[in-house]
Amino acid sequence: MTNHVVLYEPLMPANTGNIARTCAGTNTVLDLIEPLGFQIDNKKMKRAGLDYWDRVEVRRHDDLADFLGKLGPQDELYLISKFSSRNYAEVDYSATEKNYYFVFGKETTGLPETFMREYEERNLRIPMSDNIRCYNLANSVAIVLLEALRQQHFAGLETTHHYENDKLKDNYQRSSRYERNLGGE
Ligand SMILES: C[S@@+](CC[C@H](N)C(=O)[O-])C[C@H]1O[C@@H](n2cnc3c(N)ncnc32)[C@H](O)[C@@H]1O
């Protein structure tokens, strides 16, 4: 199983840089549908993705048709759009034999209407109030991707890690002392 974040014609380098960082941290493939609104080595994008750009698998596609033409029978496509009335959190993303492709729209105009109509039952909404027009692109990616990963039990990711300067290390020692004391030792 592989998760893919697909960005349709992204415009803002800082968003794509942030998304690249999230993809690097979650072993997610980043698919970019051209044209992009920036050069891939743009300083702003690198700054947003810090040192992580070379740790993410990036696949570039000439256009939407090129991307769609490469999908196979095991690939599950989801279009992430506020116009849907299907809640993204109510979909099952846990089939290990499938690859999940989450397609996000351009910062200004979202996804093309024809594409959304063609795959109508595949559109998903992130619930939100009408105080805002929509969520930020990079935040939308994190919301949907982390729900898929949660359902996949964060497979392949570290749920804990030993750090040299562990800020909670003393807490662990204190709490295990506390538990020993409760046990009457
Ligand atoms: C800044 S929004 C662009 C909104 C654009 N005006 C539109 O009509 O979709 C960028 C992308 O974030 C995602 N997004 C933002 N808010 C969302 C929501 N509430 N539900 C689903 N996707 C959302 C969509 O993929 C959207 O295309």
Ligand 1 centroid from CA 109, angstroms: 8
Structure tokens at 44: 């702003």
Please give the pLDDT value at position 182. 61
**CA–CA dist 155, 149 (Å, integer):** 7
Regarding predicted confidence, which is higher, 88 or 172?
Answer: 88
ipTM: 0.98
Residue indicated by tokens 């040192």: 51
User: 100 pLDDT band (50/70/90 cuts)?
Assistant: very high
Pocket of ligand 1 (CB under 6 A): 80-82, 104-105, 107, 109-111, 125-126, 128, 134-135, 137, 140
Is 40 marked within a binding site?
no
Please give the pLDDT value at position 54. 87
Is 143 marked within a binding site?
no
Whose C-alpha lies nearest to ligand 1, atom 8?
A: 110
CATH topology of domain 3-160: Alpha/beta knot (3.40.1280)
Is 105 marked within a binding site?
yes
Please give the C-alpha separations between residue 23 and each of 29, 42, 112, in angstroms, as whole numbers.
6, 18, 24
Looking at the DSSP bridge assignments, the partners of residue 42 are none
Whose C-alpha lies nearest to ligand 1, atom 6?
A: 109
Domain ranges of the chain: 3-160
pLDDT at residue 71 greater than cutoff 70: yes
User: 51 pLDDT band (50/70/90 cuts)?
Assistant: confident
SS3 of residue 103 by DSSP: strand
Put simply, whether the predicted model's pTM sits higher than 0.90 gets the answer yes
- Residues 122-160 have pLDDT tens digits of 999 999 999 999 999 999 999 999 999 999 999 999 999
Whose C-alpha lies nearest to ligand 1, atom 18?
A: 82
| Residues 61 and 32 sit within 8 Å (Cβ to Cβ) | yes
